[in-house]
Amino acid sequence: MWQELYRIVYYYLLKLGLSHADAEDIAQEVLLSTYLHLDSIQDGNLKFYVLATAKNKYIDFFRKNKREFTVPSLGDFDVNNFSEIHQIENKEVLKKAINKLNLTEQKLFYLKYYLGMTNPEISSLLKISPASVKTMLWRLRKKVKEYLEKEDEN
């Protein structure tokens, strides 16, 4: 269980643009914090708690180092992890479609299809309503579908 949580946090931090060393350090801090607060975490919310803690530690890291807070480019996605899109044969086209999305949409795509978070978890993490998450995901899928259809014609 802890190794899986570490892997999720580590790759989440890498996708947020941290170096491997910084991602390892922060991932270890996150798991330590999680272990220390394990009694107060409600059943079924462990993954959400770990990701929320990772996001907060990521923000603290940039505050301490006075670096600019940025959302990463998600061009290096391993699309084999997305269960809903395995049927797409040309995965390079999918990567291009993801890179055409704006940064907010890329982040949403990452949370939903790479980390496998539920809509309520995403809404809590991003501090937006579940209805907004549902709408944004619908628009995101529509954009990707349109791009893929356009590529199919070419």
Delimit the domains of the chain by residue range.
1-65, 91-153
> What is the rounded distance in angstroms from the CA atom of residue 53 to the CA atom of residue 8?
12
pTM listed for this prediction: 0.48
pLDDT tens for residues 20-75? 888 888 898 888 888 887 777 767 677 778 888 888 888 788 777 754 444 444 44
Fold of 91-153: Arc Repressor Mutant, subunit A (1.10.10)
Pair 108, 122: CB distance under 8 Å: yes
> What is the rounded distance in angstroms from the CA atom of residue 61 to the CA atom of residue 55?
10
